[in-house]
Amino acid sequence: MTGRFDIEASDGAARAGILHTAHGPIETPVFMPVGTKASVKAVLPGELHDLGAQIVLGNSYHLYFRPGADRIARLGGLHRFMGWDGAILTDSGGYQVFSLRDTAAIEDDGVEFRSVYDGSRHRFTPELAMQIQRLLGSDIAMAFDECPPAGVEREKLQDAVRRTSLWAERCRACEPAPGQLVFGICQGGVDLELRERSAAHIVSLGFDGHAIGGLTVGETREAMFETTRATAQMLPAQRPRYFMGIGDPEGVLEVIARGVDMFDCVLPTRTARTGSALTSEGRLNLRNARFASDERPLDEGCSCPACSRFSRAYIRHLVNQQEILGLRLLSLHNLRFLLDLVAAARQAIERGEFLTWKDEALRRAKGANE
Ligand SMILES: [Zn+2]
C-alpha cells in the first residue's frame, strides 16, 4: 500500500491523485510547508493540521548539524521529535551543500564543504545523505544530487547530470527506513537534451517518485515553465512528480497545469515575516498606510484564525509594532491561503475545469495589483 499512487482525475496535463505514505494518504496536488529545522516557523503542529497541511519538509543538512540525526533517532525519530504525526519529506542536503559551493570540493565520491554553523569541514556522500534520512525516519527521502546554479557552461551542467545519475544509483542501493519512500531527482538545467538523459536514467532506477530539481535557481520564468512542461512528460505518469522549490500562487498553478503533483517553498512563511499577505487579489503589504483603518479581513474568502477574527488595520498595527502575533497571524493566513488554493485546484481538476478556473484565479490576482 505504501508508495501506491492513485490518479483519480486528470485534466489536460494536470492530475488529482492520492499518494499513500507510512503516515497516511496525501491528496495531490499538494503544497508542502517547509520546516527546515524541524519547525514550520512560528506554527504549531496542530495548527498546521487545522490549516490543511498533509505533509511537511525537513532538512537533512541542518538537522545533521543541529541537533544531529543520531540524537533525533534516539529521541524516537523526526515525527516524534517535532510532534507532527502527518507525513514528512526530507531533502537530502544536496541543495544546501551546493548553494555554498564556494567552499565545496565536488568529486564523484562526494562533496566536501564547510558547515554554515561553525565552519568545520565535512563530507557528504550519497550514502551519508540516505543514512541521515533513515535516522530521521521521514516518509519520503530524496536522493543526493548535484544542483548547479543557472547559467553554468554546458560542460559543468553535463557533469552534474552524470554525477547525479551516479549518486542516484548509490542512493538506490541504500536500505531506507521501514516504509520510507525514496524519490530520484532529475537535473539538467534548462537544457532539454540533458533533461532527457537525466530523466531516462533516473526513471530506469525504479524510484517511488521523481523530482524536477535544478530549477528556480536563476533562470527566466518562461524557461522554467517550459522546462517543467517538457520534463514532466519525460517522467512516468503513474508516479508522483515533485517540483523542488516553488510556492508563489501563480507558479504553483502553472506547474500543476504542466503535470506536477507536489511542491514546497518557504515563501508563505517568509513573506509573512516581511509583513505581507498572499490573497486572492494579489499580495498585500500590510505596512502600506492604506490599511491603517481597513476593517476588512486579509482575504474575504479565508477562514484562517487571522481572517476569522482580525482586521487588516489590527494586523498592520501588529506588524508595525513588531509584535510577534503579527507574524504568527500572517504565517497562519499565508499557509492557509496557499493550501486552500491548491485544494481548490484539485477540485477544479476533478470537475474538468482546471484551465478556466486557473486563468480566472490568476486574472483576479493580477487585476487587483494593477
Ligand atoms: Zn486568512
pLDDT band at residue 98 using 50, 70 and 90 as cut-offs: confident
Q: What angle do CA 200, 239, 9 make, to 5 degrees?
A: 130
Give the β-pairing of 209-212 and 181-186: parallel
Interval 33-88: pLDDT, tens: 999 999 999 999 999 999 999 999 999 999 999 999 999 999 999 999 999 999 99
pLDDT band at residue 366 using 50, 70 and 90 as cut-offs: confident
Neighbouring residues of 263: CB distance < 8 A, sequence distance ≥ 6: 29, 30, 31, 32, 242, 243, 244, 245, 246, 247, 252, 255
For the question of residue 85 being annotated catalytic, the response is no
Instruction: Kindly state the percentage of the chain with pLDDT values over 70.
Output: 98
What is the distance in A from the centroid of ligand 1 to the CA of 305?
Answer: 7
Q: What is the pLDDT of residue 207?
A: 98
- Catalytically annotated residue among 11, 208, 264, 340: 264
Interval 166-214: pLDDT, tens: 999 999 999 999 999 999 999 999 999 999 999 999 999 999 999 999 9
pLDDT band at residue 101 using 50, 70 and 90 as cut-offs: low
Q: What is the pLDDT of residue 370?
A: 45
What is the distance in A from the centroid of ligand 1 to the CA of 132?
Answer: 36
What is the distance in A from the centroid of ligand 1 to the CA of 62?
Answer: 30
User: What would the grid cell of residue 308 be?
Assistant: 476569522
Q: What is the pLDDT of residue 99?
A: 84
Q: What is the pLDDT of residue 368?
A: 61
Q: Are 298 and 306 in contact (CB under 8 A)?
A: yes
For the question of residue 91 being annotated catalytic, the response is yes
What is the distance in A from the centroid of ligand 1 to the CA of 156?
Answer: 44
- Catalytically annotated residue among 11, 91, 139, 340: 91
Whole-structure pTM value: 0.97
